[in-house]
Amino acid sequence: MRMRFLDTGICCGYYNMALDEAILQLRGENRSPDTLRFYRWDVPTVSTGYFQRVEREINVKYCQEKGYKIVRRPTGGRAVFHNDELTYSFITGKGNPLLNKDVITSYREISRGLLLGLNSLGIPVTTQDKGGDLKAVDSAACFDTPSWYEIVLNGKKLIGSAQTRIKDGLLQHGSLLLSLDLEENLNILNLNQGQREKVRKILKEKATSLSGEGYDFTYEGLKKRLAEKMAENFGVEGYWGELTKEELELAEKLYREKYSQASWNFKK
C-alpha cells in the first residue's frame, strides 16, 4: 500500500473542511488514495464539533467583530480555535485494516504515527492512555482535557483530534499547537465570569503548545517528519502528491453548497 502526502497550504476554514470531506467521500469510493494532508488557516477560525450548539456555546458576536470564521466540522468533539498550528487530516478507507477496528484502537494507531514523528525530533510526547473526565469539565473547548490516545507533552494536551466514519471511509483530523493564546481561547466561548475563571485554570493545567514548552520548530520541518513517520508507522510507502481534478471539483461543490452556508455552520 502507499500513502499520499499533501500540503494544501493556507485556505479558509470553509474550504479546509470541504476538502477533508471531499477526499473522505472519494476514498470511500476507492477513487482517492490513503492521504495524510497538512494545512493552515487564512484567518483565525473556530471549528465546532458536529453536534455542538454553536450560538449557545460560541461567542458568535465576538468572533464576527474580530473577523474570525466559524465552521462546523464533519467530526464530533468540541470547539477548536485554529490560529498558530499545524493541522493534519488522515484519510483512509476500504482495504485498510484500520477501518475494521473500533474508534479507540484506530485513534491509538494513528496517534502512534504522530508520536513517532515528534519523538524523532526530540520532543518527549506520550499518549493519554485513558480519556479525561468530560463531566468534570463544563466547557465547549477541545483542549481543556485529553481524550483517549491523544498526544500530551509534560502531561498537557498538545494535539487535539476528532474522527468520523462513512461507509468504507475514515477521517481523523487534528491540531498540533505551535503556540497557545489562552485568553483568545476563552474569548471565543460563551462564558460568564465564573465559568471563564474555571476554564482558564483548566486550560493552564491541561493544554500546552510547542513554544509554551520551549520548542521552536518550523511548520515545514514538522510536516516532513510527521509524514515520514506516519508512513513508517503503517508500514507503507509515502509520497508527496497533488489533489486530483475530481477532489478539487467535489471540494468546491461542498464549499459552495455546505461549508460556507449558515444553514450548516449554525444549524440547531
Summarize pLDDT for 72-100 with one digit per residue, the tens. 999 999 899 999 999 999 999 999 999 99
Full 3-state SS string of the chain: CEEEEEEEEEECHHHHHHHHHHHHHHHHCCCCCCEEEEEEECCCEEEECCCCCHHHHECHHHHHHHCCEEEECCCCCCEEEECCEEEEEEEEECCCHHHHCCHHHHHHHHHHHHHHHHHHCCCCCEECCCCCCHHHCCCCEHHHCCCCCCEEECCEEEEEEEEEEECCEEEEEEEEECCCCHHHHHHCECCCHHHHHHHHHHHHHHECCCHHHCCCCCHHHHHHHHHHHHHHHHCCEEEECCCCHHHHHHHHHHHHHHHCCHHHHCCC
Confidence band (pLDDT; 50, 70, 90) for 136?
very low
Summarize pLDDT for 197-231 with one digit per residue, the tens. 999 999 999 999 999 999 999 999 999 999 999 99
Mean pLDDT of the chain: 93
User: How high is the pLDDT of residue 128?
Assistant: 76
User: How high is the pLDDT of residue 268?
Assistant: 63
User: How high is the pLDDT of residue 133?
Assistant: 44
Summarize pLDDT for 165-188 with one digit per residue, the tens. 999 999 999 999 999 999 999 999
Residue 160 has which C-alpha cell? 487535539
User: How high is the pLDDT of residue 1?
Assistant: 84
Higher pLDDT residue, 173 or 142? 173
Summarize pLDDT for 12-35 with one digit per residue, the tens. 999 999 999 999 999 999 999 999
pLDDT over 70 percentage in the chain = 92
pTM (predicted TM-score): 0.93
Given a cut of 90, whether residue 164 has pLDDT beyond it is yes
Q: Residue range 121-129: average pLDDT? A: 91
User: How high is the pLDDT of residue 134?
Assistant: 40
Please report the domains of the chain, with CATH numbers, ordered by start residue. 2-265 (3.30.930.10)
Please identify which of the residues 11, 12, 63, 142 carries the catalytic annotation: 142
User: How high is the pLDDT of residue 130?
Assistant: 59
Given a cut of 60, whether residue 158 has pLDDT beyond it is yes
Known catalytic membership, residue 12: no
Given a cut of 50, whether residue 135 has pLDDT beyond it is no
